[in-house]
């Protein structure tokens, strides 16, 4: 245990010497300070004392925190700085001379490797912990509400970082290059994000085309029901005008059906493929987005896509109706995705990468 604490202290000194820990901490304080300029009032939001009348201000305030503090800073800006700072830990460790010094001590290689890996995670945990505690205080001050669930950002952001850090560790052990570890881990992170973005986009496309197909089939069914009713009760349509209109609707909808069925097939197939990819990659976006489940109610989460739909309707854009409806459906679907599936599949990939890196580290001749 003494050796482990010594390794942790040594890793802290190494990270501290790079100054990125304090740079990230200062930047985090600036981000929290900027967010403190936003407040909630009964009428809406305030920004540096300027009042903005907005409906649903409390939900919007929490949504801003989720997107700006967690979505942009903690899981993007701070993570990039953390990767730059920690990705070189393993390559620097296995440099000739350094590794010889460590291996001369009576400790297992696996213990040495895992201790270094945990040190990288602790670096991020400390950063996020400071932001989370500061956020609870800021939200209490500006919103008048205690939200201890904000502290969940610590494990969630740490999980997101661990997915990418596992790639950096594996590349670092394999190539012994800090530059390769940083660049390839960022590329992998981008691939994870693109995969999840593609799955969400295809879900919206599939849902929108399916809605159009269902609407056409419902139009045919309802119009046929009207014709049956007019046949049984001719006095409901004595001049036959409504029956003629129903036949016209059936003709138009029937003519559209082949094209609508064709349009539905492609996004449905592509979405199935993207779902398979989604299942096998670490879910960086999905994991960070779990914070919304505890921070926002279902109505607050659906507020933004509903407002977008209202704007499109006010601008006279009926072509956007199905897409806007699908966006609302996506929010609801994501909020009900299995948490064990999201975290379990991501951690399985991370465990495989770390396990393979540990095997290479323990088996390699130095």
User: What is the edge-to-edge ordering of all strands in the sheet holding 38-40?
Assistant: 38-40, 44-47, 50-53
Do residues 42 and 131 both lie within one domain? yes
Q: What percent of the chain has pLDDT over 70?
A: 87
The radius of gyration of the chain's CA atoms, rounded to the nearest angstrom, is: 27
- Report pLDDT for 356: 95
Please indicate, yes or no, whether residues 107 and 63 belong to a single structural domain of this protein. Answer: yes
207 and 290 together in one domain: yes
The answer on 221 and 125 residing in a single domain is no
Confidence of residue 160 (pLDDT cuts 50, 70, 90): very high
Q: Which residues contact 40 (CB under 8 A, 6 or more apart)?
A: 46, 57, 58, 61, 142, 143, 144
Q: Is residue 350 part of a domain?
A: no
* Residue 289 included in any domain: yes
233 falls within a domain:
yes
Among the ranges given (172-176, 217-221, 239-243, 289-293), the one the predictor scored with the smallest mean pLDDT: 239-243
pLDDT for res 99: 64
- Domain-embedded: residue 20: yes
The first and second tokens of residue 308, run together, are 């977008």
Would residue 128 count as lying in a domain? yes
Which residue's entry shows tokens 């496309």?
205
The domain tally of the chain equals 2
Q: Establish if 51 belongs to a structural domain.
A: yes
Q: Is residue 186 part of a domain?
A: no
β-strand partners of 39: 46
Query: In terms of pLDDT, which residue wins out, 302 or 32?
Result: 32
Give the number of other Cβ atoms within 10 Å of residue 333's Cβ. 13
Please tell me whether residues 168 and 212 are part of one structural domain. no
Q: Which two tokens stand for residue 178?
A: 């800090």
Residue 13: pLDDT over 60: yes
Predicted confidence band at 100 (pLDDT cuts at 50, 70, 90)?
A: low
Q: Within 13 Å, how many C-alpha atoms sit on residue 150's CB side? A: 25
Tokens matching residue 243: 């029956």
Q: Do 98 and 168 belong to one domain?
A: yes
Q: How far is CA 52 from CA 39, 41, 138, in A?
A: 10, 9, 19
Say yes or no: 148 and 214 in one domain.
Answer: no
- 119 with 207, same domain: the answer is no
Confidence of residue 245 (pLDDT cuts 50, 70, 90): confident
User: Would you state the structure tokens that stand for residue 343, as one six-digit string?
Assistant: 């975290």
pLDDT at 222 (0 to 100)? 85
Residue 199: predicted pLDDT: 94
Q: What are the backbone angles phi and psi of residue 47, rounded to the nearest 5°?
A: -130, 110
Is there a single domain that holds both residue 215 and residue 83?
no
Q: What is the mean pLDDT of residues 123-143?
A: 83
Residues 37 and 149 both lie in one domain: yes
Given this model, what pLDDT does residue 188 score? 95
Q: What is the mean pLDDT of the chain?
A: 82
Rounded distance between C-alpha atoms, residue 140 and residue 89, angstroms: 38
In this predicted model, which residue has the larger pLDDT, 100 or 130? Answer: 130
Give me the mean pLDDT over the 44-64 stretch: 74
**Lowest mean pLDDT across 26-35, 49-58, 185-194, 353-362:** 49-58
User: Are residues 221 and 162 part of one domain?
Assistant: no
Q: Are 22 and 78 in contact (CB under 8 A)?
A: no
The domain in which residue 263 lies consists of: 199-335
Q: Is the pLDDT of residue 207 over 80?
A: yes
Q: Which of 131-135, 183-187, 233-237 has the highest mean pLDDT?
A: 183-187
Lowest-pLDDT range of 61-65, 137-141, 168-172: 61-65
Residues 6+ apart with CB under 8 A from 256: 216
Same domain, 108 and 211: no
39 phi and psi, to 5 degrees?
A: -135, 170
Residue 366 banded pLDDT, cuts 50, 70, 90 = low
Q: Which residue bears the tokens 């014709």?
A: 227
Q: Does residue 156 have a pLDDT over 70?
A: yes
- The answer to whether residue 361 is domain-embedded is no
Query: What tokens does 166 get?
Result: 């596992």
Using alpha carbons, select from 188, 197, 199, 200 the residue that is nearest to residue 349.
188
More confidently predicted of 142 and 270: 270
Alpha carbon distance 279, 258 (integer Å): 32
């Amino acid at each position: 245990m003494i050796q482990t604490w010594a390794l942790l202290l040594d890793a802290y000194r190494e990270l501290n010497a790079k100054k990125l820990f304090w740079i990230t901490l200062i930047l985090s304080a600036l981000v929290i300070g900027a967010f403190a300029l936003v407040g909630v009032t009964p009428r809406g939001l305030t920004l540096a004392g300027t009042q903005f009348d907005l409906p649903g201000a409390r939900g919007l305030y929490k949504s801003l925190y989720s997107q700006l503090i967690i979505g942009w800073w903690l899981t993007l800006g701070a993570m990039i700085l953390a990767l730059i700072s920690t990705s070189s830990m393993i390559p620097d460790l296995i440099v000739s001379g350094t590794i010889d010094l460590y291996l001369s001590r009576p400790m297992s290689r696996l213990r040495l490797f895992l201790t270094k890996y945990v040190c990288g995670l602790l670096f991020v945990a400390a950063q996020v912990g400071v932001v989370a505690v500061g956020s609870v205080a800021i939200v209490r001050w500006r919103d008048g509400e205690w939200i201890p669930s904000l502290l969940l950002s610590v494990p969630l952001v740490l999980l997101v970082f661990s997915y990418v850090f596992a790639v950096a560790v594996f590349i670092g052990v394999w190539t012994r290059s800090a530059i390769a570890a940083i660049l390839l881990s960022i590329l992998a992170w981008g691939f994870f994000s693109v995969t999840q973005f593609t799955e969400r986009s295809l879900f919206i496309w599939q849902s929108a085309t399916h809605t159009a197909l269902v609407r056409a089939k419902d139009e045919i069914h309802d119009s046929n029901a009207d014709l049956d009713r007019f046949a049984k009760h001719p006095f409901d349509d004595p001049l036959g005008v409504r029956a003629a209109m129903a036949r016209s609707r059936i003709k138009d909808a029937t003519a559209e059906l082949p094209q609508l069925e064709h349009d539905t097939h492609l996004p449905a197939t592509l979405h199935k493929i993207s779902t398979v990819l989604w299942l096998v990659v670490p879910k960086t976006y999905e994991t960070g987005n779990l914070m919304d489940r505890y921070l926002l109610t279902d109505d607050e989460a659906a507020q933004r896509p509903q407002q977008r739909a209202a704007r499109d309707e006010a601008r006279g854009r009926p072509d956007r109706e199905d897409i806007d409806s699908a966006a609302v459906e996506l929010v609801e679907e994501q909020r009900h995705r299995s948490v064990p599936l999201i975290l379990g599949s991501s951690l399985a990939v991370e465990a495989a990468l770390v396990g393979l890196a540990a095997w290479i580290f323990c088996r390699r001749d130095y």
